[in-house]
Amino acid sequence: MALLLRTLGRQGVCLSKPHYHVLYRHAAPMGTTAKEEMNKFWAKNSRLNRPMSPHITIYKWSIPMMMSITHRGTGVGLSGAISAFAMAALILPGNYTHYLDLIHSLSVGPFLIGLAKFGIAFPLSYHTYNGIRHLYWDIGKGFKIPEVYRTGYTVIGLSVVTSLALILM
Amino acid sequence: MAAIVRLSSVCRRGVKPLFYQSTLLVRPVVVFHKEQQPHPLTARIHSSPPLYAGSDSNAASLHWTAERVLSIALLALGPVAYFSPGPVIDYSLAAALTLHGHWGLGQVLTDYVHGDTKVKLASAGLFVLSTVTFAGLCYFNYNDVGICNAIALLWSK
């Protein structure tokens, strides 16, 4: 008997579908959007001058945490570098080869040149490989903790190797 | 009574109690509720997530998918730029890099900036930055050596 009642009431059975209800045409879904709820939350926080709970100061740092913020940091950094380059292209007089020759003429030692190249290559490599790891998560794979660490170490290893390879190119 | 099989677990659907009417969830409104038609993808491309999206809009999920598609496209552009550099790749890179950066910084903004006016200001600032970046890269591609050549020249140091 209970089984019969539950079968009838189960979602997906004709009678329980909303568009069969008489009142549907005159109704609008109730409730606020997530965005409105978030705004209400933050407005209340600032109004009551609530202190923020300690988080990064007390929580034990882990490899996944550090890799995540590094992904964000390299992303922001790379974006900033591209924007700076674009603005320089618009504002500075003279063309690219002119400024390149200027840098050449500074006769910086090979070590510093290598360091500068590493400074460009590593963020790019890391962000690319970790980006692929993110896409892997986006298709729903690799969420088990050992897998997270394994793919994480792979990303770090590949980034270092690729950066070194790029410097030597 | 024989063993009760949990149909919900078999059918992987939530069980709705019999007398729980969905009409209890809705506010009776005099205004006629228009049926939502799914918009074609081309009509829904935004350069930033729209702040005005209603509660039953799928704009956010389309934006998410677009972000991933762009990431994959940018990944593909890398080797293509290396093996066959040229103006087509230069402009494609300019567009893909700028948009990927714009959307990425948009997410950073969403995470750390709160409050309607602050969000609006920051979004406007980001829009200006991305526009200037794209303009600058296109200018560089047109009037100077172009992105692919620039990287090659820089690296040959």
Question: In degrees rounded to 5, what are phi and psi of residue A28?
Answer: -125, 145
* Contact between residue A166 and residue A128 where contact means Cβ atoms under 8 Å apart: no
* Inter-chain CB proximity B19 and A30 less than 8 Å: no
Q: How far is A48 from chain B (nearest CA, A)?
A: 15
Number of domains, chain A: 1
Q: Does the pLDDT at position B31 exceed 50? A: no
Q: For A86, which of B56, B72, B137 is closest by C-beta distance? A: B137
Q: What is the mean pLDDT of residues B25-33?
A: 46
Domain range for A96: 63-168
For residue A27, give the DSSP letter: E
Q: Does the pLDDT at position B19 exceed 60? A: no
Q: For A42, which of B114, B134, B137 is closest by C-beta distance? A: B114
How far apart are alpha carbons B108 and A79 in whole angstroms?
12
* Contact between residue B109 and residue B119 where contact means Cβ atoms under 8 Å apart: yes
Task: Tell me whether residue B14 is exposed, middle or buried, using C-beta atoms within 10 angstroms of its C-beta: 0 to 12, 13 to 18, 19 or more.
Answer: exposed
Q: Does the pLDDT at position B70 exceed 60? A: yes
Provide the pLDDT for residue B3: 46
Would you say residue A32 lies in a domain? Answer: no
**Minimal-distance CA residue of chain B relative to A76:** B105
Provide the pLDDT for residue B94: 97
Q: Which strand (E) or helix (H) includes residue A7?
A: helix A2-9
Provide the pLDDT for residue A2: 67
CB-based contact (8 Å) between B3 and chain A?
no
In order of their start, the domains of chain B are: 70-156 (1.20.1300.10)
Q: What is the mean pLDDT of residues A117-146?
A: 97
* Contact between residue A21 and residue B21 where contact means Cβ atoms under 8 Å apart: yes
Q: What percent of chain A has pLDDT over 70?
A: 82
Would you say residue A34 lies in a domain? Answer: no
Provide the pLDDT for residue A34: 82
- B63 labelled binding-site residue: no
Q: How confident is the model at residue A7 (pLDDT cuts 50, 70, 90)?
A: low
Tens-digit pLDDT profile for residues B87-117: 999 999 999 999 999 999 999 999 999 888 8
Higher model confidence: residue A45 or residue A153? Answer: A153
Q: How far is CA A166 from CA A83, A122, B12, B25, in A?
A: 23, 9, 50, 59
Q: How far is A6 from chain B (nearest CA, A)?
A: 6
Q: What is the mean pLDDT of residues A106-122?
A: 89
* Contact between residue B16 and residue A11 where contact means Cβ atoms under 8 Å apart: yes
CB-based contact (8 Å) between B40 and chain A?
no
Provide the pLDDT for residue A52: 87
Q: How confident is the model at residue A105 (pLDDT cuts 50, 70, 90)?
A: confident
**Minimal-distance CA residue of chain B relative to A138:** B68
Tens-digit pLDDT profile for residues A39-93: 888 889 889 999 989 999 999 999 999 999 999 999 999 999 999 999 999 999 9
Structure tokens given for A30:
């109730």
Would you say residue A91 lies in a domain? Answer: yes
Q: Which of B18, B111, B142 to mutate to test the interface with A (most CBs of A within 10 A)?
A: B18
Would you say residue A37 lies in a domain? Answer: no
Q: For B129, which of A30, A83, A90 is closest by C-beta distance? A: A83
* Inter-chain CB proximity B15 and A6 less than 8 Å: yes
- Mean residue pLDDT of chain B comes to 79
**Minimal-distance CA residue of chain A relative to B128:** A83
Would you say residue A137 lies in a domain? Answer: yes
Q: Does the pLDDT at position A96 exceed 60? A: yes
Would you say residue A10 lies in a domain? Answer: no
Q: Does the pLDDT at position B64 exceed 70? A: yes
Q: How far is A128 from chain B (nearest CA, A)?
A: 8
Provide the pLDDT for residue B29: 46
Tens-digit pLDDT profile for residues B123-134: 999 999 999 999
* Contact between residue B145 and residue A90 where contact means Cβ atoms under 8 Å apart: no
What's the CATH number where A144 sits? Answer: 1.20.1300.10
- B52 labelled binding-site residue: no
Q: How far is B119 from chain A (nearest CA, A)?
A: 11
Q: Does the pLDDT at position B76 exceed 80? A: yes
Q: For A10, which of B7, B137, B140 is closest by C-beta distance? A: B7
Provide the pLDDT for residue A106: 84
Q: What percent of chain B has pLDDT over 70?
A: 65
Provide the pLDDT for residue B115: 82
Per-window interface: B 104-123 vs A, CB < 8 A: 104-105, 108, 114-116
Q: What is the mean pLDDT of residues A107-134?
A: 93
- The pTM score is 0.73
